Amino acid sequence: MEVKERIGQLRSELDRHNYNYYVLNAPEISDQEFDRMMRELQDLEAAHPEYDDPDSPTKRVGSDLNQEFVQVPHRYPMLSLANTYNKQEVADFYERVRGGLEGEPFEICCEMKYDGLSISLTYEQGRLVRAVTRGDGVQGDDVTENVKTIRCIPLRLRQGTGYPGVFEIRGEILMPWTSFEALNREREEREEPLFANPRNAASGTLKSKNSSVVASRKLDAYLYYLLGDEVPFDGHYENLQAARGWGFKISEGMRKVTTLQEIYDFIDYWDVERKNLPVATDGIVLKVNSQRQQRALGYTAKSPRWAIAYKFQAERARTRLDAVTFQVGRTGAVTPVANMEPVQLAGTVVRRATLHNADVMAQLDLHVGDMVYVEKGGEIIPKIVGVDKDARGPQTGPKVEFITHCPECGAPLVRYEGEAAWYCPNDTACPPQIKGRIEHFISRKAMDIDSLGPETVDEYYRRGLIRDVADLYDIRVEQINGDDGGREKSAQKIVRSIADSIRVPFERVVFALGIRFVGEIAAKALARHFKTMDALAHATLDEMLRINGIGTVIAESVIRYFQDEANCGLVRRLREKGVRMELTEEEMSGHSDKLAGQSIVVSGVFSLHSRDEYKALIERHGGKNVGSISSKTSFVLAGANMGPAKLEKATKLGIPILSEEDFLKRIE
């Protein structure tokens, strides 16, 4: 077979298997087979750049190059839907439709209201040519490169399925709950602000200028509206069923009904069942099915008269606000926290809710003693959504004001440009900041001094034994063995584990310093690139920006850290204590025997390194790459699309499955 033909064949086969996996959730082949085909295609494309195709399934990994988004007008404006919050309003809508259609029979299509961000996709001759965000409804951002990395969105439609030459399809881009939770866990470790809900996370991701970031975040998409001059049917429902056949992911939960009771039944069913869905939903959408009837009903300035959204009630409770306290973190950021009379909400007792920052707090206009509403909607952390102002009376206390001085050390608070938080700038003497930095330094992923905990740190700090992390190495047994010397054993253990920590690898020392925004992964990347603390301390912005995963925020923070003489002094003292300030010979050559004697299967698509890099890493650490899972396999290094067949085999044989992160940790 001609190379060109084989490339075409592989592309269409891989497209079909992607569809089976990501859209239908029903793979037909093992991932091994999938991987083999993908590799063959990658090799052929590398050898034959003349057959390059931007829609090739090998291109779904995105690019590191910064892109600028261009504003594009929508062919049909992207309107929003009128919202309703109770069944009476749904009944009113139903009656308005009946009246508007002058007694003609009509069908209503009931569907989920997905809580993500809306996207408009344009296809021409079966190819995705443009993906545009809603923007202001009239024009939006062209995010085509980012959208192309979302595996369930077809780049090319399935041949011979009868799609129109040109059409637009709209839908919702979502971040599944599991990806959202994993992303927030990572951000927490890096002390980056958390995403409040999957919608914000999906939207932040889709607007990333770096499409490889989008590829790594595992977004999903459901399509719910087909537009164009040549759509096949008059019925909206029928059009979407057809679109499913062309390759789009269309909700299986859509129903066509005629009576109000059937609409209520649909609402009641999904109000409960939606909790089992992998993505966030916030209501139901009701649409008049016939496009002819839709045209007859028309539009208001903002929304169609033929459709309406019914929003689910978020789980909400009412309770009393006792006080607002202010917490100072290790970075000095001050967070207001509402302390409330305990109340039952969505299965847990809620006592505290974050108020995020001064702006959020001011907007709520809280008074001590107010009755407040607490919600746990799409959010994980409960939040105060409003105040029952009618319940205010003479017993209500004063308005809660944001503090002007640090509650811990009294320093006047400052606000940095572009940041919502107020900070205590007294980082050298403010106790929670100092203790927070020490706690971070000793934590498991940093210096791993596990004989110490927050209480001991607090005690040593109060006794004046430690004022910074370098002081830890001066602690002597007789200072901490108790008044009567009775804690000798545990004191020895503590001193020993502090002394042992000087063997912790350099990259963890970089993380342990607690440089703002430098999480575990960034620390690793910086350590591996610069190899010594001196080189890192003198790194320029440009040098750092060239490293994969290091952006301006991190790079500027590193520069700021080493510009501060106090920090340089601290690093100098740590060096004197013997803490590692560079990679070891072994780490520099990247060789070890950490995987000696192990047989490892690499499967799936990866985001941190390429498959070949992983294979090379395995060899460099003494492991052996093997092709298929057997009882002799030590573990599977699994990327994004390890399919059920392989998973089942590994599970049946009891073989551990490691994620990229787990694997990198193992060989770190």
What residue ranges bind ligand IVH (CB under 6 A)? Answer: 79-81, 111-114, 118, 134, 172, 224-225, 285, 304, 307, 309
Is 313 buried (19+), middle (13-18) or exposed (0-12) by CB count in 10 A? exposed
- Based on the residue annotation, tell me whether 113 is a catalytic residue of this protein: yes
Beta bridge pairs of residue 353: 338
Q: Between 183 and 279, whose beta carbon lies closer to ligand IVH?
A: 279
Nearer to ligand IVH, 224 or 246 (CB): 224
Element (H or E) spanning 639, and its range? none
Q: Per-residue DSSP letters for 652-664? A: HTT--EE-HHHHH
Nearer to ligand IVH by Cβ, of 283 and 623: the residue is 283
Considering the complex, what minimum distance in angstroms separates the CB of residue 222 from ligand IVH? 8
Contacts of 165 (CB under 8 A, 6+ apart): 124, 125, 230
Write the DSSP assignment of 525-565 as a string of letters.
HHHHHH-BHHHHHT--HHHHHTSTT--HHHHHHHHHHHHSH
Nearer to ligand IVH, 173 or 374 (CB): 173
CA distances from 249 to 20, 122, 256, 279, 652 (A): 10, 15, 18, 14, 31
What are the angstrom distances between the C-alpha of 413 and each of 98, 356, 407, 423, 569? 60, 16, 10, 5, 26
CB of 114 to ligand IVH, least distance (A): 4
CB of 75 to ligand IVH, least distance (A): 14
Phi then psi for residue 326, to 5 deg, are -125, 125
**Of these residues, 59, 87, 113, 445, which one is catalytic?**
113
Helix (H, G, I), strand (E, B) or coil at 482: coil
Give the pairing type, strands 599-603 and 422-423: unpaired
Q: Please state whether 520 falls in left (phi above 0), alpha (psi between -120 and 50) or beta.
A: alpha
84 DSSP β-pair partners: 310
CB of 111 to ligand IVH, least distance (A): 4
Q: Which is nearer to ligand IVH, 111 or 145 (CB)?
A: 111
CB 44 within 8 A of CB 660: no
Question: For ligand IVH, which is the closer residue by CB, 81 or 132?
Answer: 81
Nearer to ligand IVH, 225 or 511 (CB): 225
Q: How far is the CB of 253 from ligand IVH (least distance, A)?
A: 10
Q: Which residue is nearest to ligand IVH (CB)?
A: 118
Task: Return the number of the residue (263 or 307) whose C-beta is nearest ligand IVH.
Answer: 307
d(CA 399, CA 366): 6
Closest CB 574 distance from ligand IVH, rounded Å = 52
Any residues with CB less than 8 A from the CB of 361 and at least 6 apart, and which?
Answer: 324, 336, 355, 400, 402
Instruction: Output the smallest distance, CB 208 to ligand IVH, in A.
Output: 19
Helix or strand (DSSP H, E) at 375: strand 371-376
Give the orientation angle of helix 3-18 with respect to helix 31-47, to 10 degrees: 140
Q: Enumerate the active-site residues.
A: 113
